[in-house]
Amino acid sequence: MKFTGKNVLVTGSSRGIGAEIAKVLAGYGLKVWINYRSGAEAADKVKAEIKAAGGEAAVIGFDVSDEEAFTSGIKAIVDADGELSYLVNNAGITNDKLAMRMKMDDFTSVIDANLKSCFIGCRESIKTMSKKKFGAVVNVASIVGEMGNPGQTNYAASKGGVIAMSKSFAKEGAPRNIRFNTVTPGFIVTEMTDKLKDEVKAEYAKNIPLARMGDPKEVAEAVAFLLSDSSSYITGETLKVNGGLLV
């Protein structure tokens, strides 16, 4: 795959899907900015792995739900590299509870980490990418934003919001040659899904036509495609990466 741009910020790339996206994009020749909130050591490890494989990477820590921190982070990248070509809004959290037991803070903390963060990233990208009249953003939502899930009213609302918001950003970005797309992973093997009980995972796997959970690399390659020149006529799209769980 070819990339016209030169650098990318991947939020929440100290582990899980984000770390794999960072490694895959570095493998395609992009300079990758690895972001984390608390896992500085894990982020340094991802950077070391990318460098050992001959890629270029830098680490930048900030909390994506903090407007000032995220905005300053993007500014620091543009100051260092002269531009931000691509953004992957990947950072996200869960805080599962049945709705009747869900406190307001359980709800808003997930909305802030998953949806507000994505708005900040998309808004700041469109501002800076407009100057070059080039850019692409991929937002990592979830199958749960498409079909709902018991215990995840907060998470479903945040990810459904990401899907809808991306389409509006796509319409605002198109006249500026900036594309916005979304991926909706199904059940992927990471620390986020490690929290699930084995019997719950087995039950999920039974309903997946490809009969297994996904590998983070399988999400990363879909993200790479949506950033690359190979998808130059695709914007406002939602690409399911779920083994056929929702067809």
Instruction: State the catalytic residues.
Output: 155
Note whether 73 binds ligand NAP by CB under 6 A. no
Cβ within 8 Å of residue 165, ≥6 positions away: 115, 118, 119, 122, 139
Which of residues 133 and 195 has its CB atom nearest to ligand NAP in the complex?
A: 195
Among 30, 84, 88, 113, binds ligand NAP (CB under 6 A): 113
Q: How far is 210 from 232, CA to CA, in rounded Å?
A: 29
CB of 178 to ligand NAP, least distance (A): 21
Cα–Cα distance for residue pair 13/29, rounded to 1 Å: 17
Residue with tokens 């199904």: 186
* Member of 18, 73, 173, 243 binding ligand NAP (CB under 6 A): 18
**Span near ligand NAP by CB under 6 A; candidates 15-23, 51-59, 95-103, 221-229:** 15-23
Cα end-to-end distance, the chain, whole Å: 27
Segment 179 to 218, residues that bind ligand NAP, using CB under 6 A = 185, 187-188, 190-193
Could you say which of 3, 15, 228, 235 contacts ligand NAP (CB under 6 A)?
15
Q: Which positions ≥6 away from 4 have C-beta within 8 Å? A: 85, 134, 229
* Least distance to ligand NAP, CB of residue 36, Å: 4
The nearer residue to ligand NAP, 42 or 78, going by C-beta atoms, is 42
Smallest distance, ligand NAP to C-beta of residue 140, A: 4
The neighbour count for residue 52, using CB atoms within 10 Å, is: 8
Question: Which distant-in-sequence residues (6+ apart) come within 8 Å of 31 by Cβ?
Answer: 6, 7, 8, 56, 57, 58, 81
**Contact residue for ligand NAP among 93, 147, 164, 196 (CB under 6 A):** 93
Among 7, 125, 142, 166, binds ligand NAP (CB under 6 A): 142
- Residue 157, Cα to own-chain centre: how many angstroms? 16
Collect all residues with Cβ–Cβ distance below 8 Å to 39 and sequence separation of at least 6. Answer: 14, 15
Choose the binding region for ligand NAP from 59-67, 95-103, 200-208, 228-236 (rule: CB under 6 A).
59-67
Give me the residues that bind ligand NAP (CB under 6 A), please: 11-18, 35-39, 63-65, 90-93, 113, 140, 142, 185, 187-188, 190-193
